[in-house]
Structure 1
Amino acid sequence: MRHALTRHLRRLLLLLAAATGIGWLVGYTLVALLIAIAFYLGSTLVQLARLHHWLTSSGAGVDPPESTGLWGEVFDDIYRLQKRHFSARDRLQTMVNRIRESTNSLRDGVVMTDAEGAMEWWNHAAEYLCGFRTGKDRGEYIYNLIRDPEFRGYFDAKDYSEPLEIASPARPQLRLQIQINLFGEDDRLITIKDVTRIHQLEKMRRDFVSNVSHEMRTPLTVISGYLETLSEQTESIPPGWQRPLATMQHQANRMEALITDLLLLSRLETSERRTGDAVCYPEPLLRQIQQDAIALSGDQQHRITLSIDDSHAIQGDENQLRSAFSNLVFNAVKYTPAGGTVQIRYGVDDDAIRFSVTDNGSGIDPEHIPRLTERFYRADPSRSKETGGTGLGLAIVKHILYNHDGHLSIDSTPGQGSTFTCSVPIERIIREGA
């Protein structure tokens, strides 16, 4: 290109020199120069017109106009750039087509929307699961097609740490799990899974546990009653039978506690989250739990303190909250050595109502903490046998907090103790005059 530009400048200078010479000979130097410049500008405009026509009206792969000199090299360079551009475009289009084909083969639905929720693209599975229509719903807001208040709130909240489970808008018999990921400038990539089978299996499991627990309660009550009657007849029972009867009575009590917790957990899992109309007064509730914990401590003489920084009533089910808070406090008493300290705190900060229980017991290894709220999970099975725990307490706490839009956090250091904190939204406080 540099050599072509040099040759072009030489030709222009030769043209001007020749025009100057001819003009001097005929006595019209200025006129000759103007004619030469006009000729040069005219030829340049012709080449620009040819370039414009080629760029605007030709398709991919059309040869450039024939030309020489600088303009010939400009045409050739642009043609080479075009070929590279079209080649890159074809590769990208091939890649996009493969991505679309592979995405359409997925059993899970995939939807792309902009930041406002306008639908840009979706695959075949999303059409089946949600009833989207190709060619008609493009540009529609997704929350106008999935008309579920929970989905709209989930979409707008931008907190996608947990998936949302709702019924399909097109096929109510299907249960869908929706997960949203942000990309670009708050655009959304939405994945939709059919979890109907898992939902049905979970319902069958809950029903089974509930039914079995109900059926076991009656015979267990009978057994416990007879064992209690026999244990009172100490004079007529041979000494060799007294210890087996005491052991049977202890195991029957454990079984009864287990059934009670299973039934409570079953009710929590199947009941609707309607706790907004109930009113709970935390202060008398916590003082009663403190007294119960002192009674549970008995001869072990734990130091159990209570700190209440806010006395406002809150929206919540008192019985459920009593069960959650007492579970945490009683666990702290059971797993703290004699003479240890259990601190109960209740207060409100900028964004949540918080109830915490701190002990100076043996603590929990970090590897166990993520699984502590699973049913029957025990960080130390031998300790649980000593304390008579059912392994369902923290699972019950988790479900109660879920019913109150809250969550449980656990902080523990082996050898130093643990802190269990219940957090529920600050909007649940009932202000005076509200």
Structure 2
Amino acid sequence: MQHNWSRYLRLIVGFLIATTGIGLFFGQPLLGLLTGLIIYLIWTLVQARKLYHWLANPTTADGAPESLGMWGDIFDGLHKMHQHHLLTRDRLVAQINRIQESTNAMRDGVIMTDSRGILEWWNGSAEHLLGFQRQSDRGQHIHNLIRTPAFKSYFDARDYREPLDMRSPSKPHIHLQVQISLFGDDDRLIVAKDVTRLFQLEQMRRDFVGNVSHEMRTPLTVISGYLETLVDNADDLPPKWRRAISTMDQQASRMEALITDLILLSKIETGENTISDSTTDVQALISQVCHDAQALSGEQQHEITVEVGERRLLRGDESQIRSAFSNLIFNAVKYTPAGGRIDVRWYTDRQGAHLAVKDTGIGIDPIHIPRLTERFYRADPSRHKETGGTGLGLAIVKHVLLNHDGNLEIQSRIGEGSTFICHFPRERLVEVPPERANTDLANH
């Protein structure tokens, strides 16, 4: 490039020297130089005009304008850049079309919005699942088309670790699972998956468990009643029947406990127990549950200690919270050997409120911990049979905590006991009113 520029410069200077020499031949060297400059300027303007018209509409001709010297190289260089640009554009357009075609082939709805929620693009499945119209909805705010309050809160919260379950705004019979991802300059990629079949299967399972549990309760109550009568009059029965009647009574009691837990879990899952915003006095609740736990311990003489922090008021459904706390504390009693220690501690920090139940039992292999909250999962079936547990206690705890925006943490090692911690968010804590705090101090 530097070599060509030097050559062009020498040609221009040579041309001007030649015109000056011609002018000198006629006794007018300055007129010859001026004439040469004018000729070069006119030629340059003509080439610039060609360049202007070609750049204004480069597709009118198959190639670049014809020229000589520096302008010829400029036209050829621009023509090559233009051809390269066209090839790159065609390749990118083909890739974009292929991506759009593959995305349109997906059964999941895919939507792209900017950081403000303005719709930029969506695939065909989004039109079917969400009712978008390609001709009129482009450029609309997504909240104008999806008016579900839960979706607006999910979209604005910017916490997309968990998906959102919702109904389709255009087809209420369709249940969707929505997952949002951030990309670019806070733009959103929204994926809506049709989970109607899974929802129906889950609803069918819940209805089946709930209905069967309710239907079994009545005949089992009758059987338990007769068995209780037989146990009370065991002295009048032949000796060979006494052990059979006693075993039948124990198993009937176990079945009653199982059905009670199934009905409770079904109500919690289906939302029959509406979460109230009442205030629960955690200290009174824990004291009562621990008193019942001491009675459950009986002759095993477990040492149960209770420590409750200052902020002890929790917003939520007291009956569900009682179920969760009692399941954890009663499990500690059941699975801790006689004479063992159980520590129950309620404390608060910047993250929220926490209930920790620690026992000195034989512990649980960490391999089982991820599945402990599944229904009927047994880390140790032999222990489960001995204690008479239903296998639903931790499942109930998990769903209660989910209903209260919390989660369950399990720490355990074989031979070192176990610790179960209920975590509640800070928003669930309620400050103790001054008059109530003064009354509590006076009582103590």
**Alignment gaps of 5+ in structure 2:** 435-444
Instruction: Tell me the equivalent position of 1:319.
Output: 319
Distance 2:293 2:433 in 1: 35
Moved more, 105-114 or 51-60: 51-60
Distance 1:116 1:60 in 2: 41
| Shift in Å, 1:354 | 1.9
Is 1:295 paired with 2:280? no
Instruction: Tell me the equivalent position of 2:110.
Output: 110
Distance 2:340 2:239 in 1: 38
Q: Is the 8 A contact 2:281 2:314 kept in 1?
A: yes
Paired positions, count:
434
Distance 1:186 1:336 in 2: 52
Partner of 2:227: helix, strand, or coil?
Answer: helix
Q: Is the 8 A contact 1:4 1:69 kept in 2?
A: no
Distance 1:423 1:20 in 2: 95
Q: Is the 8 A contact 1:164 1:178 kept in 2?
A: yes
Distance 2:244 2:60 in 1: 93
Instruction: Tell me the equivalent position of 2:251.
Output: 251
Distance 2:13 2:22 in 1: 14
Instruction: Tell me the equivalent position of 2:205.
Output: 205
Partner of 2:92: helix, strand, or coil?
Answer: helix
Partner of 2:236: helix, strand, or coil?
Answer: coil
Instruction: Tell me the equivalent position of 1:335.
Output: 335
| Shift in Å, 1:79 | 1.7
Q: Deviations over 1:16-37 (max 9, x none)?
A: 4334444555555455444444
Is 1:419 paired with 2:419? yes
> Percent of aligned pairs with the same residue?
57
Is 1:56 paired with 2:52? no
| Shift in Å, 1:200 | 1.8
Moved more, 7-16 or 355-364: 355-364
Instruction: Tell me the equivalent position of 2:127.
Output: 127
Partner of 1:62: helix, strand, or coil?
Answer: coil
RMSD of equivalent CA atoms: 2.3
Instruction: Tell me the equivalent position of 1:12.
Output: 12
| Shift in Å, 1:131 | 1.1
| Distance change (3 Å), C-alpha of 1:260 and 1:273 | closer
| Distance change (3 Å), C-alpha of 1:11 and 1:245 | same
Q: Is the 8 A contact 1:165 1:176 kept in 2?
A: yes
| Distance change (3 Å), C-alpha of 1:179 and 1:2 | same
Amino acid at match of 1:9: L
Instruction: Tell me the equivalent position of 1:408.
Output: 408
| Shift in Å, 1:298 | 3.1
Distance 1:257 1:272 in 2: 20
| Distance change (3 Å), C-alpha of 1:333 and 1:312 | closer
Distance 1:411 1:265 in 2: 24
Distance 1:426 1:338 in 2: 37
Q: Is the 8 A contact 1:274 1:403 kept in 2?
A: no
Moved more, 305-314 or 104-113: 305-314
Distance 2:42 2:280 in 1: 91
Amino acid at match of 1:338: A
Amino acid at match of 1:260: T
Instruction: Tell me the equivalent position of 1:286.
Output: 286
| Distance change (3 Å), C-alpha of 1:114 and 1:272 | farther
Partner of 1:18: helix, strand, or coil?
Answer: helix
| Distance change (3 Å), C-alpha of 1:433 and 1:234 | closer
Moved more, 398-407 or 387-396: 398-407
Moved more, 88-97 or 251-260: 88-97
Q: Is the 8 A contact 2:343 2:357 kept in 1?
A: yes
Distance 2:225 2:273 in 1: 36
Q: Is the 8 A contact 1:273 1:404 kept in 2?
A: no
Amino acid at match of 1:422: C
Is 1:173 paired with 2:173? yes
Partner of 1:171: helix, strand, or coil?
Answer: coil
| Shift in Å, 1:41 | 4.2
| Shift in Å, 1:106 | 1.9
Distance 2:100 2:182 in 1: 19
Q: Is the 8 A contact 2:311 2:430 kept in 1?
A: no
| Distance change (3 Å), C-alpha of 1:48 and 1:302 | farther
| Shift in Å, 1:145 | 0.7
Instruction: Tell me the equivalent position of 1:73.
Output: 73
| Distance change (3 Å), C-alpha of 1:391 and 1:54 | same
| Distance change (3 Å), C-alpha of 1:27 and 1:258 | same
| Distance change (3 Å), C-alpha of 1:382 and 1:27 | farther
Instruction: Tell me the equivalent position of 1:221.
Output: 221
State the TM-score, normalizing by the size of structure 1.
0.92
Q: Deviations over 1:139-172 (max 9, x none)?
A: 1111221111111011111122222111211112
Partner of 1:373: helix, strand, or coil?
Answer: coil
Distance 2:105 2:196 in 1: 20
**Alignment gaps of 5+ in structure 1:** none
Instruction: Tell me the equivalent position of 1:353.
Output: 353
| Distance change (3 Å), C-alpha of 1:427 and 1:273 | farther
| Shift in Å, 1:132 | 0.8
Amino acid at match of 2:259: I
Amino acid at match of 1:206: R
Instruction: Tell me the equivalent position of 2:237.
Output: 237
| Shift in Å, 1:242 | 2.2
Q: Is the 8 A contact 1:273 1:403 kept in 2?
A: no
Amino acid at match of 1:180: I
Q: Is the 8 A contact 1:275 1:315 kept in 2?
A: no
| Distance change (3 Å), C-alpha of 1:375 and 1:26 | same
Instruction: Tell me the equivalent position of 2:310.
Output: 310
Partner of 1:367: helix, strand, or coil?
Answer: helix
| Shift in Å, 1:7 | 1.9
Moved more, 39-48 or 209-218: 39-48
Amino acid at match of 1:411: Q
Distance 1:405 1:10 in 2: 82
Q: Is the 8 A contact 2:20 2:32 kept in 1?
A: yes
Q: Is the 8 A contact 2:311 2:348 kept in 1?
A: no
Q: Is the 8 A contact 1:304 1:341 kept in 2?
A: yes
Distance 2:2 2:68 in 1: 15
| Shift in Å, 1:121 | 0.9
Instruction: Tell me the equivalent position of 1:160.
Output: 160
| Distance change (3 Å), C-alpha of 1:287 and 1:78 | same
Amino acid at match of 1:110: V
| Shift in Å, 1:224 | 1.4
